[in-house]
């Protein structure tokens, strides 16, 4: 069945993990485009701040505090959205957290908590959203990672959780499409993004972890999310480095292993002392920022992602350029014949 999605300005969008990072960036961008929003997070204080920022952008919004690991909380979130705005058009499962440390050092308590958020949070949100999306059509968007298809040192449990998110999303898409309901199921796989993600993570390194470049602005992911909310897309790698990761993993996996072993461990250690707390098990108030503290260059756009999301325009542009080159070549040939 063909899936027809509304323009963003006509949509009701639910976003989990909306009090900071990619979730907050998406909420602010959607508000500026006229969407009505339902914001979710564990952190009541920062969620209230996020709500105020969204409203200051002219957005109509409500919020509900709740942990994505709690299925009852996700069902209440869905019911709240319908009660407030009458329907759900797009549901974004964005909430996530990481741990930095060797797998043998990370406690199973921390690993299980990570999976409760990253994997079961996506499952709970998806199952809460689907009955409402099935009713009138819409988009379910799950946030994975470029690590969804490869291994990575010092973030082993995070990487495993994002593999699980990809497997769940791809399998759910098959079942939804086979059932013929007008719902698109999308997996977004961001590269390294400048959000508070490293400082929110559980940390066994002894110093603050850091991203390995290239690093992209969270608005690049937000723009991709909102594109997929309005246009059915199967999956999107955000950032050209994501495409490079994917291609190298596929065609030269052992070489890629060597590269990650050589740079992936030392490159994630900063020279900044570790913070005393994290947000793995509980929120940290007054921490609702879109951007992180990455000290290197942050890329504000991704030509690869723009081309991926606008294939028709990209192909048309290439065709026009190609036709122009042919005509120019013929013109030069004709002038030479007359000269």
Neighbours of 220 (CB within 10 A): 23
Neighbours of 224 (CB within 10 A): 27
The span from the CA of 65 to the CA of 56, in Å, is: 20
Separation in Å, CA 269 to CA 193, 266, 277, 321: 16, 6, 17, 45
Considering the candidates 100, 119, 152, 158, report the single residue annotated as catalytic.
158
Q: Sort strands 60-65 and 138-143 into parallel, antiparallel or unpaired.
A: unpaired
**Catalytic residue flag (residue 158):** yes
Which residues is 202 bridged to in the sheet?
Answer: 99
- CB-based contact 114:98 (threshold 8 Å): yes
Neighbours of 185 (CB within 10 A): 26
Which residues are marked as active site? 158
């Amino acid at each position: 069945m063909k899936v027809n999605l509304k323009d963003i300005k006509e949509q009701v969008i639910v976003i989990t993990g909306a009090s900071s990072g990619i979730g907050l960036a998406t909420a602010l961008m959607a508000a500026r485009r006229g969407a009505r929003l339902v914001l979710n997070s564990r952190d009541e204080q920062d969620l209230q701040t996020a709500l105020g920022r969204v409203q200051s952008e002219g957005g109509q919004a409500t919020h509900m505090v709740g942990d994505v690991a709690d299925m009852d909380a996700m069902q209440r979130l869905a019911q709240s959205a319908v009660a407030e705005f009458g329907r759900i058009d797009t549901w974004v499962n964005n909430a996530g957290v990481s741990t930095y440390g060797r797998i043998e050092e990370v406690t199973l308590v921390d690993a299980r908590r990570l999976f409760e958020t990253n994997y079961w949070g996506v499952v709970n949100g998806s199952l809460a959203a689907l009955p409402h999306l099935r009713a009138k059509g819409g988009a379910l968007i799950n946030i994975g990672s470029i690590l969804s298809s490869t291994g990575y040192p010092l973030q082993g449990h995070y990487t495993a959780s994002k593999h699980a998110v990809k497997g769940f999303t791809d399998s759910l898409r098959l079942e939804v499409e086979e059932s013929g309901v007008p719902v698109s199921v999308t997996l977004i796989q961001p590269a390294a993004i400048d959000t508070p993600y490293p400082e929110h993570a559980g940390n066994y390194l002894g110093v603050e972890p850091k991203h390995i470049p290239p690093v992209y602005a969270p608005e690049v992911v937000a723009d991709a999310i909102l594109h997929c909310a309005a246009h059915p897309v199967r999956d999107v790698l955000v950032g050209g480095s994501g495409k490079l990761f994917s291609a190298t993993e596929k065609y030269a996996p052992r070489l890629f292993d060597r590269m990650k072993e050589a740079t992936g461990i030392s490159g994630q250690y900063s020279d900044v002392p570790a913070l005393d707390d994290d947000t793995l098990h509980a929120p940290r108030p007054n921490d609702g920022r879109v951007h992180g503290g990455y000290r290197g260059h942050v890329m504000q756009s991704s030509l690869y992602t723009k081309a991926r999301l606008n294939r028709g325009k990209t192909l048309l542009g290439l065709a026009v350029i190609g036709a122009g080159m042919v005509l120019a070549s013929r013109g030069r040939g004709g002038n030479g014949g007359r000269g």
